[in-house]
Amino acid sequence: MEFRTLTALEHEMLPVGSGESALSAVEAERLASMAQQRPGFCTLGHRSVRLSQFVGLVSLGSGRFLEVLPKVGEHVDPALARGTLLRLLRWAYDLPIFAGGSVGHGLQQRELLDVFVLAYLQALARLVRVGLVRRYGTNEEDLRVIRGRLLLQRQATTHAMRVDRIACRFDELTADNPWNQVLKAALIAARPWARGVESGRLWLEMAAAFDEIPSRRDGLSLHGRLTKDRQVDHYAPALRWAGWILRLLSPDIRQGTNSAPELLFDMNRLFEAAVATRLRQRAGSKGLQLHSQHTGRHLADLMGDPDRKFFRLRPDLVLNAGTEVLAVADTKWSRVDIDRRGRLAPPDAHAYQLNAYAAVYPCNEAVLIYPWHTGLADARETAYQLSAAEGRRPVLRVICADVAAEGLPLHFVADGSSFVHFR
């Protein structure tokens, strides 16, 4: 079977018509149906479908996939955009996506589906090298020699006249458990897409390693029912990949539906999670604490009733040194432009939002974090002095995270900033 991929960028408008670069009417209908389950994914126009900020993969049926890539800057190369997405996934989910740990040129040139399948197979290979989790299970079999306990009732009623069959119940150490069953289900689902020499070789090796584990057709629902177990903590990366593979490729729960199977990520949340993970690791090494999606503070209380709070605030990041708040920050997956003098010019709404945070949180610094792009090559460090709040004059700084680099380095960080530790 031939698998074709239609590559697009977020917010792009796709034509509906004929040709490999267009959606068919049936495919557009499938996307519209999927948008009802994932509001905001796309909107239908006149013979067109406009995408939003979701990126990833969507199955269009008949072996055809829609690959949606992030857009940073004006001129986007699909390979570089693919590398950006893979890099953000690696940081956001703390995943060893590739054996080498980085997003190389070769991987960027491959379609996302190929990369995801290869990453899953590599995660399985790491588990197999360590050893699959085994648990004791109780079996009942008719054997030639006694093993475990003799089942007297079955022996007397079924094998009373036979001496070559002994009904036994015994415990056996086996890899047949729910965690390995989920991994086996994803392995089977990935088989038609294990293209290329490396993926094909790894698939055959993993199929042999999981041979004793029975196949299940309810892999995705079983994945959702897995319980936490400290003994399988090291399974986390492989199980996350397995869940993604099953969502996209599992045939059992998708049959009979008009919705398109998908593996999509909201770029706003993905960028936020990636930046938070990257900064949190560095904060710990500096003795600082970084909190994500901080809650508990409000912009106002009811007149005459200060115990009733309204307009809850939820900044993406709050940087602390013990109990002291050093800075409050928000990540924005959007293009920040520069003015005629080379200053970074965030939208008014973003500045208003950070001003509200700075008025409530007892800190001297509020930070807007955008993705860096080549259009900012001539920009310079930019900071704005906000109005006084409780005797303080907070500073609003605009910085950028370079999503094209492995470590997501920060640009435009002044020496006096609390974020100077993260450059």
- pLDDT values of the chain reduced to their tens digit, one per residue, 423 residues: 456 889 999 999 999 998 888 999 999 999 988 888 888 899 999 899 999 999 999 999 878 899 999 998 777 888 889 989 988 998 998 776 654 555 555 666 788 999 899 999 999 999 999 999 998 888 888 988 888 888 888 888 888 778 788 889 888 888 989 999 999 999 999 999 998 899 999 999 999 999 999 999 899 999 999 988 888 999 999 999 999 999 998 755 444 444 578 899 999 999 999 999 999 988 988 899 999 998 888 889 889 888 898 899 999 999 999 999 999 999 999 999 999 999 999 999 999 999 999 989 988 999 999 999 988 999 999 999 998 777 788 999 999 999 988 889 999 999 889 998 887
pTM of the model: 0.85
Burial 149-166 (b: 16+ CB within 10 A, else e): eebeebbeeeeeeeeeeb
**What is the pLDDT, as a whole number, of residue 40?**
87
Output phi, psi for 280, to 5 deg: -65, -40
CB atoms inside a 10 Å sphere around CB 40 = 10
Q: Is residue 353 part of a domain?
A: yes
Q: Is residue 337 part of a domain?
A: yes
Last residue of a domain, one of 174, 200, 229: 174
Burial 48-66 (b: 16+ CB within 10 A, else e): bbebbbbbbbbbbeeebbb
Output phi, psi for 182, to 5 deg: -65, -45
**291 with 414, same domain?**
yes
Last residue of a domain, one of 174, 194, 226: 174
Tell me the two tokens of residue 120.
């899953």
Q: Is residue 391 part of a domain?
A: yes
Q: Is residue 235 part of a domain?
A: no
DSSP class of 364: S
- Distance (Å, whole) CA 363 – CA 389: 10
The residue range of the domain holding 313 is: 286-422
**What is the pLDDT, as a whole number, of residue 253?**
45
The domain total for the chain is 2
Last residue of a domain, one of 174, 201, 225: 174
Tell me the two tokens of residue 362.
């007892």
Q: Kindly give the residue spans of alpha helices, DSSP state H, lying in 2-95.
A: 25-37, 78-92
- Distance (Å, whole) CA 360 – CA 102: 40
- Distance (Å, whole) CA 381 – CA 414: 7
Q: Is residue 335 part of a domain?
A: yes
**What is the pLDDT, as a whole number, of residue 107?**
64
**What is the pLDDT, as a whole number, of residue 256?**
45
CA distances from 301 to 50, 293, 298 (A): 41, 21, 7
Instruction: Please say whether the beta carbons of 344 and 384 come within 8 A.
Output: no
**What is the pLDDT, as a whole number, of residue 170?**
87
Q: Is residue 162 part of a domain?
A: yes
Q: Is residue 65 part of a domain?
A: no
Q: Is residue 9 part of a domain?
A: no
